[in-house]
Amino acid sequence: MERTLAIIKPDAVERNLQGEIIRIIQQTGLRIVGMKMLRLSRSQAEGFYAVHRERPFFASLTEYMSSGPCVVMCLEGADAIRRYRELLGATNRDHAAEGTIRRIFALDVERNSCHGSDGPDTAAVEIAYFFSTLELVG
């Protein structure tokens, strides 16, 4: 069993797509073991994306991520990190495979609807960024 962090980003929440995206995730068999809705402050978004602070898109990305509410979930399942990343598709929707969440819902490379941890170490840090152990109920 493996856990990963998923975020339904502000562009998708703004368009009321939470239910549709959660249905697609659940259809893969991944289970939700933690879920909350919140609006990140600018500094919380900067903390979450700290690895990207030198990138040219950092200011725009953190402004966007703090522009409205997100739905944050901890997903659990066999090979959850890889399976959920595959379901998301490439960062840029134009390169994402047909049927992936980003191909279906993303507006552009920044407003790409969902986040998923990219490896076990990142997943552990990202899950702990949002959830205490008591909030995970798998």
- Please, which residues bridge with residue 4 across strands? 75
Q: Binding of ligand UDP at residue 125 (CB under 6 A)?
A: no
C-alpha to C-alpha distance for 130 and 19, rounded to whole angstroms: 21
Reduced to 3 states, what is the DSSP secondary structure of residue 1?
coil
Q: Which residues are catalytic?
A: 115
C-alpha to C-alpha distance for 64 and 108, rounded to whole angstroms: 12
Q: Binding of ligand UDP at residue 118 (CB under 6 A)?
A: yes
**Mask: binding to ligand UDP, 78-117, rule CB under 6 A, as x and -?**
-------------x-----------------xx-x--x--
**Mask: binding to ligand UDP, 15-54, rule CB under 6 A, as x and -?**
----------------------------------------
Q: Do residues 136 and 74 touch, judged by C-beta distance below 8 A?
A: yes
Number of residues that bind ligand UDP (CB under 6 A): 8
C-alpha to C-alpha distance for 38 and 129, rounded to whole angstroms: 13
> In the bound complex, what is the minimum distance in angstroms from residue 61's beta carbon to ligand UDP?
5
Q: Binding of ligand UDP at residue 129 (CB under 6 A)?
A: no
Site for ligand UDP in 59-78 (CB under 6 A): 61
Burial of 123 (0-12, 13-18, 19+ CB in 10 A): buried
Interface residue list for ligand UDP (CB under 6 A)? 57, 61, 91, 109-110, 112, 115, 118
